[in-house]
Protein backbone atom coordinates (compact mmCIF):
# COMPACT_ATOMS: atom_id res chain seq x y z
CA UNK A 1 0.00 0.00 0.00
CA UNK A 2 2.75 2.40 0.95
CA UNK A 3 4.29 2.02 -2.52
CA UNK A 4 1.02 2.97 -4.17
CA UNK A 5 0.99 6.29 -2.37
CA UNK A 6 4.66 7.00 -2.80
CA UNK A 7 4.38 8.65 -6.22
CA UNK A 8 0.97 10.23 -5.81
CA UNK A 9 2.31 13.74 -6.13
CA UNK A 10 3.44 12.94 -9.68
CA UNK A 11 -0.09 12.00 -10.70
CA UNK A 12 -0.76 14.86 -13.09
CA UNK A 13 2.64 14.67 -14.75
CA UNK A 14 2.48 13.00 -18.17
CA UNK A 15 4.64 10.10 -19.29
CA UNK A 16 7.74 10.86 -21.35
CA UNK A 17 7.08 10.64 -25.08
CA UNK A 18 7.39 7.09 -26.41
CA UNK A 19 7.09 7.98 -30.04
CA UNK A 20 8.28 11.15 -31.76
CA UNK A 21 5.65 12.69 -34.01
CA UNK A 22 5.53 15.56 -36.47
CA UNK A 23 3.34 18.63 -36.58
CA UNK A 24 0.31 18.43 -38.89
CA UNK A 25 -1.13 21.95 -38.71
CA UNK A 26 -0.48 25.30 -37.10
CA UNK A 27 -1.16 24.95 -33.37
CA UNK A 28 -3.38 27.24 -31.28
CA UNK A 29 -0.67 27.65 -28.65
CA UNK A 30 3.09 27.91 -28.72
CA UNK A 31 5.46 27.17 -25.85
CA UNK A 32 7.93 29.88 -24.94
CA UNK A 33 10.76 29.36 -22.47
CA UNK A 34 11.65 32.23 -20.18
CA UNK A 35 15.39 31.78 -20.60
CA UNK A 36 16.15 33.94 -17.55
CA UNK A 37 14.10 31.58 -15.41
CA UNK A 38 15.07 28.24 -16.95
CA UNK A 39 17.66 26.31 -14.93
CA UNK A 40 18.72 24.21 -17.92
CA UNK A 41 17.80 21.04 -16.03
CA UNK A 42 16.40 19.53 -19.28
CA UNK A 43 13.69 17.65 -17.39
CA UNK A 44 11.15 18.83 -19.97
CA UNK A 45 13.13 17.61 -23.01
CA UNK A 46 12.14 13.89 -23.11
CA UNK A 47 8.46 14.73 -22.54
CA UNK A 48 8.02 16.68 -25.77
CA UNK A 49 6.15 14.44 -28.26
CA UNK A 50 7.76 16.15 -31.26
CA UNK A 51 11.23 16.50 -29.73
CA UNK A 52 11.46 20.25 -30.34
CA UNK A 53 13.11 21.39 -27.10
CA UNK A 54 16.84 21.96 -27.36
CA UNK A 55 19.55 23.75 -25.40
CA UNK A 56 20.33 27.32 -26.34
CA UNK A 57 23.62 27.41 -28.33
CA UNK A 58 26.64 27.73 -26.00
CA UNK A 59 27.78 31.02 -27.52
CA UNK A 60 24.59 32.86 -26.53
CA UNK A 61 25.25 32.89 -22.78
CA UNK A 62 28.66 31.23 -22.42
CA UNK A 63 27.60 29.45 -19.21
CA UNK A 64 28.13 25.76 -18.32
CA UNK A 65 24.44 24.86 -18.17
CA UNK A 66 22.51 26.90 -20.74
CA UNK A 67 18.73 27.22 -20.69
CA UNK A 68 16.57 25.45 -23.24
CA UNK A 69 14.61 26.87 -26.17
CA UNK A 70 11.75 25.68 -28.33
CA UNK A 71 11.95 25.18 -32.09
CA UNK A 72 8.73 27.12 -32.64
CA UNK A 73 8.01 25.77 -36.12
CA UNK A 74 7.80 22.24 -34.74
CA UNK A 75 5.87 22.89 -31.49
CA UNK A 76 2.33 21.46 -31.52
CA UNK A 77 1.20 23.44 -28.48
CA UNK A 78 0.41 20.36 -26.39
CA UNK A 79 1.43 22.11 -23.13
CA UNK A 80 3.16 19.03 -21.78
CA UNK A 81 6.50 20.80 -21.30
CA UNK A 82 4.84 23.64 -19.38
CA UNK A 83 3.07 21.17 -17.08
CA UNK A 84 6.25 19.20 -16.53
CA UNK A 85 8.31 22.31 -15.80
CA UNK A 86 5.72 23.70 -13.40
CA UNK A 87 5.13 20.43 -11.57
CA UNK A 88 8.66 19.10 -11.41
CA UNK A 89 10.99 22.05 -11.60
CA UNK A 90 10.79 25.75 -12.13
CA UNK A 91 7.80 27.11 -14.04
CA UNK A 92 9.84 28.60 -16.84
CA UNK A 93 7.55 27.81 -19.80
CA UNK A 94 4.61 29.93 -20.88
CA UNK A 95 1.99 28.88 -23.42
CA UNK A 96 1.02 31.78 -25.67
CA UNK A 97 -1.84 31.89 -28.18
CA UNK A 98 -0.12 31.55 -31.56
CA UNK A 99 -1.39 34.89 -32.97
CA UNK A 100 -0.23 36.70 -29.83
CA UNK A 101 3.13 34.95 -30.07
CA UNK A 102 3.53 35.93 -33.72
CA UNK A 103 2.80 39.60 -33.02
CA UNK A 104 5.01 39.72 -29.93
CA UNK A 105 7.99 37.97 -31.49
CA UNK A 106 7.44 39.21 -35.05
CA UNK A 107 7.70 35.61 -36.16
CA UNK A 108 5.39 33.58 -38.36
CA UNK A 109 5.00 29.98 -37.25
CA UNK A 110 5.19 27.43 -40.06
CA UNK A 111 1.93 25.71 -41.07
| Contacting positions for ligand SF4 (CB under 6 A) | 31, 33, 38-44, 47-48, 50, 52-53, 67-68, 70, 75-81, 85, 89-90, 92-93
Rounded CA separation 1/47 (Å) = 28
Q: Min. distance of Cβ 96 from ligand SF4 in angstroms?
A: 10
User: Within a 10 A sphere around the Cβ of 97, how many other Cβ atoms?
Assistant: 13
Q: Nearer Cβ to ligand SF4, position 34 or 103? A: 34
Rounded CA separation 30/89 (Å) = 20
Q: Nearer Cβ to ligand SF4, position 3 or 25? A: 25
Q: Nearer Cβ to ligand SF4, position 1 or 19? A: 19
Rounded CA separation 66/46 (Å) = 17
Cβ contact 67:83 at 8 Å: no
Amino acid sequence: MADTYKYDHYKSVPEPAEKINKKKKKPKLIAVVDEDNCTGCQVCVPFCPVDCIETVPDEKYGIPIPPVQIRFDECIGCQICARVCTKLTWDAIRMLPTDEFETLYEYTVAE
